Chains A and B, each alone.
Chain A
Amino acid sequence: MTALLEARGLALAGRLRPTDLVAPGPALIGLVGPNGSGKTSLLHALAGIGGPGGEVRIDGEDPRRLPPESRKRRLAYLPSSRDIAWPMTVRDVVALGSAAGSKEAIAALGLAGLADRRIDRLSTGERSRALIARALAQDSTLLLLDEPTANLDPAWQIRLMDRLRHVAAARVVVAALHDLDLAARHCDRLIVMDEGAIAADGAPAGLLGGADIRRVFGVERGADGGWTLVRP
C-alpha cells in the first residue's frame, strides 16, 4: 500500500539538513521546535517552495508533475505571514483556494458574516481565519500549516484544532505549532525540530515528558504543571 505522504531527502541549503518524513495513513502531525529550528523550512520543502527540496510523494504521486489545478487538490500550504497587500474580499480569497470548497470552509471558520468584507481591513485574527479557510477549501490530501493558531483567541485555537482533527480523519495535516500543550492534546504525532533536523518524532504523551523537550527547548514541567526554564 502506498503511504499518504512519503518524503525522502528533504533539504534546503543552510536551513534544512536531509530529512525523511513518512505518514503511512491519515494523521494530524504537530511540528514543534524553537525559533529558527527549521519548522518553516521543512514545510517549504514539503510544499516545493524555494526549489526542489527532495522527493515528495503524496498518495504515490509527485505533486511537482501535476498542473496547478490538480496540485491544489494534493497539497495546500498556509504561510506564516498573514499580510495580504491586495484589496480582495474574504470570499475571493477563499475561492482562490477552491471555489467548490469555499462555502464549507467559510462556515467552518465562522467567516459567513465577514465574507464580503475586504481582507486587508480585518483584524489580524480574522485575517488569519480567512487565510486558513483558503487552505482548508482546497480539500487537499496534504495540508501544511505554518503556525495556524497564531493570532487566534483561545476559543478559535480550540475550534481550529478540532477542525484539523476532523480533516485529519482522512488526510495528512502537518501544522507548525508553538503551544506544546495544544499540540500534545490534539495531535497524533509530534515532530520536534532542532537546528534544521528532526530531533525527535513520536506520540505526544511520550515526548512531552521526555528529555528531548528539555534538551531542545530548554524548558521543563514546573511544580504547578506549567512550563518553566531549565535551570543551568
Chain B
Amino acid sequence: MKASALLLLAAAALALFALSVLLPWADLAALLRRDDALGWAIVRELRLPRAALALVYGATLGASGAAVQALFANPLASPDLTGTTSGAALGAVVTAYLLAFTSPLALALGAVAGALIALLLLLALAGPRAETATLLLAGLAISAMAGALTTLALALAPSPFAFYDAYEWLMGSLVDRSLAQAAFAALPGLAAIVLLVRLRGPLDSLALGEEVAQSFGHDIGRLRLRIVCLTAVGVGACVAICGAIGFVGLVAPIFARRLTGGRPGQAIAPAALIGGALLLSADLATRLAPLGRILPIGVVTALLGAPFFLWLVLHMRWRLGR
C-alpha cells in the first residue's frame, strides 16, 4: 500500500477527530463567548475524551479485526463475531459487580482476562485454520455463553441497581468518560495497535500456510500467542471503559483490504485508521441524529454493521452460485 493512501486515511481520521471535538459547534461557540473557562473545561473533560475514545477504540477494533482475520486465515473473523468482546464484557462485569473492584485498572484487567479466555477457547474449539462455519459457530457459542454469564453475574450482584447501572455501558458508550478513564483504554489500545502492525510480515506469510511461514523462519506458536494476547489487551481495555461495540472490527479490515490488495498483514495499519474513522463517524451520527436524545453508539454500529454483514453473506452466496 502506498504511503500516500495511508497518509490520506490518517488525515481523514484526524479531521473526524477534530469534528468530533468541535461539533455541535454553535453551543460550544456560544459557551466560549460567555464563559471561556467553562467552554474549555467542556472541551477538555467531555469532548476530548469522547473523541479520543472513539478514535482509539475504533482503531483497536480495526487492527485487532485485521490481525484475528489473518490469524485464523479467515476474512470473516472479528473481535465481536469471535466472542472476544463478549468475553471482555463478562470479565469486566464479574470484576465490577461480583468481585466489587471498580477502579479502571481492575476493570481493564478483568476485561483483558475475559477476552484472553474467550480467544484461547476459540482457538481450542475451532482450531487455527477454521472453516468459516466452524469459526462463526464457535464464536456464536462463546458469545452466547459470555452473554448469559454476564446476565447471571448482574442478577447475582449484591447491588439491586446492577442491571440498570450496567445497561448503558453494555450497549457501548463513549459518553461521560474522564481523561484518566480514556487513558486507561487508549494506552493499551495504542500499544496493541503498534505491536500488531509490527507483526504484519509474519501475518502476511501465514496466508501461504503454516509450513511456508515456518520455512520463512517464523515461530507460528509464538506468533499465535502474541496476536491473541495483543488483541485481548487492546480490546479488553477498550471494552472495560466503553463497553462492547460491534461490527467495526469486521468492517474496517474488509475496507482496508480494498486498498492493500488482500495481503492480511498489510491491512492492519489502514484497518486501524478506518476503524477509528468509522467509530468517530458513528459517534457523530449519535449526536447529530435528529431524535432529540442520544443513541448508544453500540446500537448505531450494529444498525449500520448488521446490514453490511448480511450483504457480505449474500455476496458470498451469489459468488458461490448457491
Contact = CB atoms under 8 A, between A and B. Distances in A.
Interface string A72-99: 1001111101011111110111001000
A80 to B, nearest CB: 9
A68 interface: yes
A136 B212 CA distance: 13
Given A86-B264, A87-B262, A48 B214 contact: yes
B201 A86 contact: no
A214 interface: no
A44 B74 contact: no
Given A67-B217, A85-B129, A96-B204, A77 B211 contact: yes
A96 B207 contact: yes
B214 A49 contact: yes
Interface of B: 73-75, 129, 201-202, 204-205, 207-209, 211-212, 214-218, 261-264
B212 A79 contact: yes
Contact of B212 (A64, A67, A77, A91): A77
A83 to B, nearest CB: 7
B120 to A, nearest CB: 22
Given A67-B217, A71-B216, A96-B263, A79 B201 contact: no
A134 interface: yes
The main secondary structure of chain B at its interface with chain A is loop
Given A48-B215, A85-B74, A88-B263, 4 more contacts: A47-B214, A86-B264, A91-B261, A93-B207
Q: Is the interface of A mostly helix, strand, loop or mixed?
A: mixed
B73 A85 contact: yes
A154 B124 CA distance: 43
A67 B216 CA distance: 9
Nearest to B201: A68
Most B CB within 10 A of own CB, among A81, A83, A91, A96: A96
Contacts of B215: 47-49, 75-77, 144
B75 A87 contact: yes
Contact of A79 (B74, B129, B204, B209): B209
Nearest to A40: B211
A96 B214 contact: no
A44 B204 contact: no
Contacts of A63: 217
A66 interface: yes
B217 A48 contact: yes
B73 A88 contact: no
Contacts of B212: 77-79
A66 B215 CA distance: 12
